[in-house]
Amino acid sequence: MAIVRVNHPALVRGYIDEMKVGDHELAVRGWMVQPHRPLSAFQAHLDGSLAGALEPLPREDVAKAFPWISHTRQSGFEFRLPISARRGRIDIVGLRGHRPVARLTSLYRTDLGSAIATPPATLMVRALGNASPDFYRADGLKSFSEFSDAASRHRELVSIRRMLDWGCGCGRVTVQFLLDGTIPEVFGCDIDGEAIAWCQQHLREGKFQRIEPYPPTPYPDQSFDLVIAYSVFTHLSRDLQNAWLTEMRRIISPGGLFIASVHGPFATSFAFPPTGLGRFVPRLRDRFIRHTILREGIVDTTVDHALNGVAPEGYYRGVFQTREHTMKAWSKFFEILEYAEGGVGNFQDLVVMRRPA
């Protein structure tokens, strides 16, 4: 399945809000924003071939979410695309003039609506901040695409015998690995006992376990060839990051991969909207982020209340860090193979690591 390449791609925020299939047609809806300059058109590519094009559509909800970016009101897309294959890859490409400058990419499946059980709204909101089953499925598949693509760049997936989704929540990404079927044994763990109980009941092909907020986990040494962590370190203080990196090194086999996301400067720019800076001024904004908010390399003091009643008081944080901090701190535990800005969810940075053999 071909991936549409964009020369010198720009960092963009955006989501695929839903993917639905009916009568040999794939309906895809979402939005895409490049902070510094507006996009003039969108294209949809299926398995590398152009399948549709349109001008940006109104998205008042996006404009309301990011009022400091003047062009967000025209950021939506809605495609209806004829399909013949049961699964494949879709790329939504943002253009400026006739030049492709940005991209959202995901796999698609025609059984996405029927093959995945829907968690209770409370669990989806806790994990995603969104109670839409369509978003749960579409975002989970897109995230799976990004993690599996990253793993495949450094190791054949068929060589992975056992993987762990650490911090799996209600299984939005884990279930996609189970459906894919390439990796024989798929595990998931989380401190949220209610979410784990739901996964145990509804995702029976996986092996799910509640873990404590602090290491160690119950897994033996060198248990996994792959561990993924989507938006886990984004909520852990620097001391807890070090403790959990030590634990991940213990349970990952020599040569195994650890793929985790962080809030880098791009995510920071959205989490800390401009104050007194007016509209998005790229150089001034970047300087403000790096020299004021991230001047120490990591900000880990803000308490996030999303897991109140689940995590210990003060445990769950909103954490933002520079690439330089991540590379320096994490390379003490793993060989860092790749650092992709906006590499997952077109928001968080993706770090691909390997435990030395």
Instruction: Output 274 or 186, whichever has higher pLDDT.
Output: 186
Statement: residue 314 has pLDDT above 50: yes
Statement: residue 277 has pLDDT above 50: no
Q: 213-271 pLDDT, tens per residue? A: 999 999 999 999 999 999 999 999 999 999 999 999 999 999 999 999 999 999 998 88
Please state at what angle helix 323-330 crosses helix 238-251, rounded to 10 degrees: 50
Q: How confident is the model at residue 293 (pLDDT cuts 50, 70, 90)?
A: confident
Per CATH, the number for 116-265+295-354 is 3.40.50.150
Q: Which two tokens stand for residue 286?
A: 């970047």
In the chain, residues under CATH classification 2.60.40.10 are: 13-110
Average pLDDT over every residue of 198-227:
98
* 3-class secondary structure per residue, the chain: CCCCCCCCCCCCEEEEEEEEEECCEEEEEEEEECCCCCCCEEEEEECCEEEEEECCEECHHHHHHCCCCCCCCEEEEEEEEECCCCEEEEEEEEEECCEEEEEEEEEEECCHHHHCCCCCHHHHHHHHCCCCHHHHHHHHHHHHHHHHHHHHCCCCHHHCCEEEEECCCCCCCHHHHHHHCCCCEEEEEECCHHHHHHHHHHCCCCEEEECCCCCCCCCCCCCEEEEEECCCHHHCCHHHHHHHHHHHHHHEEEEEEEEEEECCHHHHHHHCCCCCCCCCCHHHHHHHHHHHHCCCCEEEEEECHHHECCECCCCCEEEEECHHHHHHHHCCCCEEEEEEEEEECCCEEEEEEECCC
pLDDT at 81: 96
Q: Is the peptide bond before 82 cis (omega within 30 degrees of 0)?
A: no
Q: What mean pLDDT is reported for the chain? A: 93
Return contacts of 290-297, CB within 8 angstroms, 24+ apart. Answer: 290/265, 290/322, 293/268, 293/320, 294/265, 294/268, 294/320, 294/321, 294/322, 297/321, 297/322, 297/324, 297/325, 297/328
Instruction: Output 3 or 312, whichever has higher pLDDT.
Output: 312
Q: How confident is the model at residue 24 (pLDDT cuts 50, 70, 90)?
A: confident
CATH of 13-110, one of 1.20.1300.10, 3.40.50.2000, 2.40.30.10, 2.60.40.10: 2.60.40.10
Statement: residue 164 has pLDDT above 80: yes
Statement: residue 125 has pLDDT above 50: yes
58, burial (CB in 10 Å: exposed 0-12, middle 13-18, buried 19+): exposed
List, in sequence order, every residue forming a beta bridge with 336; answer none if it has no partner. 353
pLDDT at 287: 62
In the chain, residues under CATH classification 3.40.50.150 are: 116-265+295-354
- Residues 6+ away with beta carbon under 8 Å from 182: 157, 158, 160
Q: How confident is the model at residue 129 (pLDDT cuts 50, 70, 90)?
A: very high
Statement: residue 281 has pLDDT above 70: no
Residue matched to tokens 């989490």: 271
163, burial (CB in 10 Å: exposed 0-12, middle 13-18, buried 19+): buried
pLDDT at 286: 63
Nearest to 153 by CA among 354, 355, 292: 354
